[in-house]
Amino acid sequence: MLYKQWMGEWLELYVKVSTKERTYARYRGRAERYILPALGEYEVGGLTAVELQKFSASLSAKGLAANTANGIVSVLKQSLKQAVAFGVAKKQYSDRIVRAKVREKKVVCFEKDEQKKIEGYIFEKDDPKLFGIILCLYTGLRIGELLALTWEDIDLKGGILTVSRSCHDGWENGRYKKIFDTPKTQSSERVIPVPKKLLGKLREIKRQTKCPFVVAGRTEEGAQVRAYQNTFTKLLERLGIAHKGFHSLRHTFATRALEVGMDVKTLSEILGHRDPTITLQRYAHSLLGHKTEMMNRLGRLLP
């Protein structure tokens, strides 16, 4: 069987029924754009270790980022492993691929004065739509989680917020719309205590709105992801703050949490990481000030 035929079957019969719609679309896009033009005419069992390595190296030669190249190789590996598992090929060599070296992305967050500037403007403007930005700064929500949040997900009496789904923008039946899905990972489904100072404002917004979503938009589905990202970008421009992605709000929350002494285990659960080690590795730089203070306390024992 030609690899392009197997890839089509694998995507439709296995990936589509076992993953989120967005994951399926991403896999299909990687296959159609990168994998099949290069390897589609090979027999599934004829893809040697050398051919696979040449393909992997060609991705880096095209100037693709290491994370992007490795994502493409991951789709290739999964398809070939299942080809063997289902008897389409007797052997596969994808485990011998040497991948591009990935550098950990630098965590970017807002400085304290920038955060105060953002918060001050939003409270002064008193625009309920912008309050979602404050919510991210004090809960660590991802943008998809924020915009999928309904008033039913917030217990205003108990001060608890439940993350049970996420959303993204996409095309469905020829229409660009907001598409809802499960959170990023199983550990992303979580319960977050909301700081008491935010509850009063949330109650006020809920009384004033007819929209079921916490961040209202032009339709009953609430704000769309791309539109809200643009709103955030324009806010930073208006305040004269250098551009940072919306995800920087989540990084800022994590950094401030560590600065005030939150333990890594608690922070990990609030962020929805599957393991505190992930949190520790990602935000180790944020602990430097705390480490310095602890070492100076220890130094006071010196005569």
Residue 48 pLDDT class (50, 70, 90 cuts): very high
Smallest CA-to-CA distance from 170 within 31, 24, 14 is with 24
Strand partners, 170: 177
Q: Which domain holds residue 57?
A: 3-96
Q: Which residue has the higher pLDDT, 60 or 153?
A: 153
Asked whether residue 107 is assigned to any structural domain, the reply reads: no
Total domains in the fold of the chain: 2
**Measured between alpha carbons, how far is 53 from 47 in angstroms, rounded to an integer?**
10
- Tens-digit pLDDT profile for residues 82-92: 999 999 999 99
CA distance 10 to 82: 8
Reduced to 3 states (helix: H, G, I; strand: E, B; else coil), residue 109 is: coil
Q: Do residues 124 and 89 share a domain?
A: no
Any domain includes 102: no
Looking at residue 103, its pLDDT comes to 65
Q: What is the pTM of this model?
A: 0.76
pLDDT in tens, 5-47: 999 999 999 999 988 888 898 999 999 999 999 999 999 989 9
Write the CATH number for 197.
Answer: 1.10.443.10
How many residues does the structure list for the chain?
Answer: 303
- Is 104 inside any structural domain? no
Check whether residue 194 and residue 279 sit in a common domain.
Answer: yes
- Taking only the tens place, the pLDDT of each residue in 232-270 is 999 999 999 999 999 999 999 999 999 888 999 999 999
Which of helix, strand or coil describes residue 118? Answer: helix
Question: What's the one-letter identity of residue 95?
Answer: D
Query: Would you call 248 exposed, middle or buried from its count of C-beta atoms within 10 A (0-12, 13-18, 19+)?
Result: buried
Amino acid at 199: L
Q: How far is CA 74 from CA 12, 125, 144, in A?
A: 17, 46, 24
